[in-house]
Amino acid sequence: MGLQPLEFSDCYLDSPWFRERIRAHEAELERTNKFIKELIKDGKNLIAATKSLSVAQRKFAHSLRDFKFEFIGDAVTDDERCIDASLREFSNFLKNLEEQREIMALSVTETLIKPLEKFRKEQLGAVKEEKKKFDKETEKNYSLIDKHLNLSAKKKDSHLQEADIQVEQNRQHFYELSLEYVCKLQEIQERKKFEFVEPMLSFFQGMFTFYHQGHELAKDFNHYKMELQINIQNTRNRFEGTRSEVEELMNKIRQNPKDHKRASQFTAEGYLYVQEKRPAPFGSSWVKHYCMYRKAAKKFNMIPFEHRSGGKLGDGEVFFLKECTKRHTDSIDRRFCFDIEAADRPGVSLTMQAFSEEERKQWLEALGGKEALSHSFNTAVIPRPEGSAQLDKLGFTIIRKCISAVETRGINDQGLYRVVGVSSKVQRLLSMLMDVKTCHEVDLENSADWEVKTITSALKQYLRSLPEPLMTYELHGDFIVPAKSGSPESRVNAIHFLVHKLPEKNKEMLDILVKHLTNVSNHSKQNLMTVANLGVVFGPTLMRPQEETVAALMDLKFQNIVVEILIENHEKIFRTPPDTTFPEPTCLSASPPNAPPRQSKRQGQRTKRPVAVYNLCLELEDGDNPNPSKEDTPTSSLDSLSSPSPVTAALPGPPGPDKNHLLADGGSFGDWASTIPGQTRSSMVQWLNPQSPTTTSSNPAVTPPSSGSSPFLFSPPATVVDKPPESVSSRKARAVYPCEAEHSSELSFEIGAIFEDVQTSREPGWLEGTLNGKRGLIPQNYVKLL
């Protein structure tokens, strides 16, 4: 049962039961007071904990923002780039969430703590003061009554009347105070229902607002989360494919390491112990060096290196070899030794020790000593053995039979091409298909003898058994380049161009296969084989590097991307000719393109002129020889200049008047230039490298590379004359890259900036425009005309 009401009439009776009811009300208010006091304390602790959580969350967000993934290789996929950026997205999400949490913490103070403190101080505190007065008056009233009743009746009437009046006045004052106190007790009991609960409602409204904001952030984050999950899944799939290839290469090297030595610019290299002679009392010591020798130049490099001291690298020495002599054990108390004499150090002889007799013989052969072996120190990479699979009439028949059977029987099978067949059955089917006598007798569409997974595995195995991958060794590096960088449109155009450089049979077979894979991907809801999954499966099947190395296998993910592009753009790539006049200025670099070079302020010719190359700018001094000799070529690119295998290209650095960019790209792409007529070649160069000017000064035209020169330079059209750049009528343009001005005449801007009154500038590759009332120069390849 709840509290009984306090009747005002009872104030005059002041019965024991009335006093019990007052004490019950007082006890309830005291309990309420203690509860509110504890609640305020807990609320302050909640605010402190919220602030501590916010600090911890912000620290966590800062840690996410500051971390950056390091990837193996010279480029990353779009998926990897999104994964790398995801940590900053997570950081921003937490930051936004903590901003809302701080708002909630402030609202707790304003909407809960302060109102409760005010209620406790002003209302409950006032009741306490009224109770003190009531208790004091009660004591005074009844003490006066006791004293009055003890007065003797023999007192004078006037004295007694005065005492009666005083007692009556005091009783009236007590009754009035009692009435007010009773009223206050009942008022506060009713008031606390809303004065106390209303702040709680505001508190929970603030909490709900915070959680609603979190929900809204989560909704905004959901689209990004879905895309990131796809990025992660694609990366995981590519990792699985790459890992199997890397493990296969590791096992090959483990079984026969000598046959898988990497091609090197050095004739011989490896560790040798070099004897360092000391004064007579101290004898000599043997120090381990990493030695490298070039036979053509007779140049010998050696660098001291000790693994046990944490891999400390010492100062290297370089000398030119005069002769090498084998040391026998009767002249030195160590095995596997030989002496070297330096041509540039007369009278100086170095004694070296190999790790084994076999290694000593290899060093002796490389250095021109005695007992040379018949094989080279750096064993050449053994080419893949040619199987019986060929791109002939039988090969096309096999592929068509397999594709027809898959599309007839298993186009909706889950994990199509990913689920492998039993090896023995796959080999038996391949044997029958590759035999002219039995090929036409094999019925794959109607026979239950061959499972779909056996057919798909046989198709993949046949393509892998070709002497050369379907997309050729020659163009392998060129296909990889656009997959590593650039906009999606530029990638498609570059791969479109490259596909039409394939041999006719390769292109025909690739067309048949990619058309089939497009059909497979169209049924991905049933077979779960998305374009990305098919890229993982067929990347290493259609493309292979000629030299198997870990570095080459790290590019496997980009092979997958090439296959994805082929599947997604099958009709455009195989049914239309390549567009070598791609209109929009784009660059295959993931970062903003380099600004075009500015003209010299002095009159006359520019100090530098650009030479068009595939996606790069190679700037040469006007007086430089475009065909450098090998002596002038940096050692890091000596072998790459004549090697047909793809090597890494050094992307151009920031724009500037003194920067010459070293180009070390694969030779196969540049070889196209020598087979393309001048006008077509110029258009191709302009498309692949739109930031390069299309005209040159009156200097002699750059001639195609000779046999000893770099194969990467494209020769311009046969007839080139000075002419002003194509005029741009006054119009608007939008920035597609941010730019920081390097000169007062240039404009700084962010992505999306809109330029007014854009016109052609006298500076080749630059435009003039107005931004925020200021007129200046704009790099032409940083904006898109509207």
Q: What is the pLDDT of residue 127?
A: 87
Contact status, residue 764 vs residue 695, Cβ threshold 8 Å: yes
Rounded to whole angstroms, the Cα distance separating 77 from 235 reads 9
Q: What is the pLDDT of residue 603?
A: 34
Q: Using pLDDT thresholds of 50, 70 and 90, give the confidence band for residue 293.
A: very high
Number of neighbours of residue 214 by Cβ within 10 angstroms: 16
Q: What is the pLDDT of residue 388?
A: 64
Contact status, residue 697 vs residue 749, Cβ threshold 8 Å: no
Judged on CB neighbours under 10 Å (0-12, 13-18, 19+), 341 is middle
Residue identified by tokens 């009300």 is 25
Class of domain 10-214: mainly alpha
Rounded to whole angstroms, the Cα distance separating 533 from 303 reads 47
Q: What is the pLDDT of residue 706?
A: 36
Contact status, residue 687 vs residue 680, Cβ threshold 8 Å: no
Q: What is the pLDDT of residues 586-618, one digit of tens each?
A: 333 334 454 454 443 333 333 332 222 223 232
CA atoms within 13 A on the CB side of 560: 26
- Who wins on pLDDT, 2 or 169? 169
Q: What is the pLDDT of residue 220?
A: 85
Q: What is the pLDDT of residue 643?
A: 32
User: Mean of the per-residue pLDDT values for the chain?
Assistant: 76
Judged by average pLDDT, the poorest of 242-246, 409-413, 678-682, 755-759 is 678-682
- The yes-or-no verdict on residue 472 having pLDDT over 90 is yes
User: Residue 274's beta-bridge partner residues?
Assistant: 287, 352
> Which pairs count as long-range contacts for 637-640, CB under 8 Å and 24+ apart, including other chains?
637/662, 637/664, 638/265, 639/263, 639/265, 640/664, 640/667
Q: Using pLDDT thresholds of 50, 70 and 90, give the confidence band for residue 280.
A: low
Contact status, residue 512 vs residue 404, Cβ threshold 8 Å: no
Is the alpha carbon torsion for 76, 82, 83, 88 positive or negative? Answer: positive
| pTM > 0.75 | no
Angle at 546 between CA 545 and CA 552, to 5 degrees: 35
Least Cα distance to 507 among 561, 575, 559, 560 occurs for: 575
Q: What is the pLDDT of residues 295-337, one digit of tens each?
A: 888 899 988 887 776 666 777 888 888 889 888 878 788 888 9
- Who wins on pLDDT, 727 or 138? 138
Domain 733-785 has CATH 2.40.160.50: no
Q: Using pLDDT thresholds of 50, 70 and 90, give the confidence band for residue 652.
A: very low
- The yes-or-no verdict on residue 742 having pLDDT over 60 is yes
- The yes-or-no verdict on residue 425 having pLDDT over 70 is yes
Q: What is the pLDDT of residue 598?
A: 45
Q: Using pLDDT thresholds of 50, 70 and 90, give the confidence band for residue 153.
A: confident
- The yes-or-no verdict on residue 461 having pLDDT over 60 is yes
Judged by average pLDDT, the poorest of 183-197, 198-212, 352-366, 697-711 is 697-711
Judged on CB neighbours under 10 Å (0-12, 13-18, 19+), 701 is middle
Domain spans of the chain? Answer: 10-214, 268-367, 393-575, 733-785
Q: What is the pLDDT of residue 504?
A: 93
Q: What is the pLDDT of residue 317?
A: 87
- Who wins on pLDDT, 711 or 772? 772
- The yes-or-no verdict on residue 466 having pLDDT over 80 is yes
Strand, coil or helix: 672: helix
Q: What is the pLDDT of residues 1-29, one digit of tens each?
A: 678 888 888 888 888 998 898 899 889 88
Mean pLDDT of 401-427: 92
Q: What is the pLDDT of residues 517-533, one digit of tens each?
A: 999 999 999 999 999 89
Q: What is the pLDDT of residue 513?
A: 96
Q: Using pLDDT thresholds of 50, 70 and 90, give the confidence band for residue 260.
A: low
Is 268-367 in the same CATH topology as 10-214? no
Q: What is the pLDDT of residue 506?
A: 94
Q: Which residues contact 259 (CB under 8 A, 6 or more apart)?
A: 379, 382
Q: What is the pLDDT of residue 601?
A: 37
Phi, psi of 296 (to 5 degrees): -65, -40
Strand, coil or helix: 600: coil
Least Cα distance to 444 among 436, 433, 434 occurs for: 433
- DSSP characters for 278-333? --GGG-EEEEEEEEEEETTTTEEEEEEEEGGGTSEE---EEEEEEEEEEPPTTTSS
Least Cα distance to 627 among 701, 703, 699, 566 occurs for: 703
Q: What is the pLDDT of residue 124?
A: 87
Q: What is the pLDDT of residue 192?
A: 85
Q: What is the pLDDT of residue 529?
A: 93
Q: What is the pLDDT of residue 309?
A: 66
Tokens, residue 740: 């920081």
Q: What is the pLDDT of residue 41?
A: 92
Q: What is the pLDDT of residues 62-76, one digit of tens each?
A: 998 888 888 887 787
- The yes-or-no verdict on residue 719 having pLDDT over 70 is no
> Which pairs count as long-range contacts for 528-534, CB under 8 Å and 24+ apart, including other chains?
528/414, 528/415, 529/415, 529/416, 529/417, 529/418, 531/564, 531/567, 531/568, 532/230, 532/233, 532/234, 532/237, 532/560, 532/564, 533/237, 533/418, 534/417, 534/563, 534/564, 534/567
Tokens, residue 607: 């100090």
Diameter of the chain by CA atoms?
Answer: 154
Topology of domain 268-367, CATH? PH-domain like (2.30.29)
Q: What is the pLDDT of residues 369-406, one digit of tens each?
A: 765 343 444 444 434 343 468 889 999 999 999 999 99
Helices and strands of the chain, counted as H and E runs = 22, 14
Over its C-alpha atoms, the chain yields an Rg (Å, rounded) of 44
Is the alpha carbon torsion for 579, 580, 585, 586 positive or negative? Answer: positive
Residue identified by tokens 């196969």 is 668
- Helix/strand/coil percent split, the chain, to 5: 50, 10, 40
| CATH of 393-575 among 1.10.150.120, 3.40.50.620, 3.40.50.2300, 1.10.555.10 | 1.10.555.10
Rounded to whole angstroms, the Cα distance separating 362 from 341 reads 18
User: Residue 785's beta-bridge partner residues?
Assistant: 733
Q: Using pLDDT thresholds of 50, 70 and 90, give the confidence band for residue 85.
A: confident
Tokens, residue 342: 């330096």
